[in-house]
Amino acid sequence: MTETLERLLADIRACRICVERPDGRPLPHEPRPVVVGSRTARVLIAGQAPGLRVHESGLPFNDRSGDRLRDWMGVTREEFYDASRFAIVPMGFCFPGYDDKGGDMPPRRECAARWHGRLMAAMPQIELVLAIGQYAHRWHLGARRRKSLTETVMDWREIFFSSYRPKILPLPHPSWRNTGWLKRNAWFETDLLPLLKGEIRSRLQPK
């Protein structure tokens, strides 16, 4: 029996596996899975995991990283949060907490193992995946991922223009902590972003 997207999203939003049956240390706070599924979106945004601000609001990319990502994509906030246009599926659905240095912990491993394959199968209309950060690269690209995030993003042409479907564009995380990376890799803005904006805009038009 085919799993319906609506039932799958309801199950994800009720998920407590990282507290009740964790892979390692349990989540240090109450789960609040953040995910946007869609039957019509042609673009899937595969981020890392919600930060604290997103955890508190329940709205994905509701922070400065989201502002930068929307600028990269060339979309308005209204367009970005239109579930008929964009699905948003982070590698970890809940804010993972902070490490000893005050940085965000990696996405919880339980999420991708339990839910991601099923979500992709329930959204066969997806044409383009924006794989944001190394964890999304690892899951969506598999053996096509290069040794480092920089090498993977630098190889975006070969990845994007391959015969694999859906198409994938590997991106760095839009965190403001990566401003230095963006300055060192000016080709990202001059070469990759124009294609990204064009691909997004073309998929916002009716078929």
Q: Is the backbone of residue 61 left (phi > 0), alpha (psi -120 to 50) or beta?
A: left
Q: Specify the pTM.
A: 0.94
Residue 43 and residue 167 in contact, taking contact as beta carbons nearer than 8 Å: no
179-197 pLDDT, tens digit per residue, is 999 999 999 999 999 999 9
How many CB atoms within 10 Å of residue 187?
Answer: 11
Number of domains in the chain: 1
pLDDT confidence tier of residue 1, bands split at 50, 70 and 90: very low
86-99 pLDDT, tens digit per residue, is 999 999 999 998 88
- What's the DSSP call for residue 113? I
Q: What is the CATH number of the domain that holds 164?
A: 3.40.470.10
Structural domain span for residue 26 = 5-203
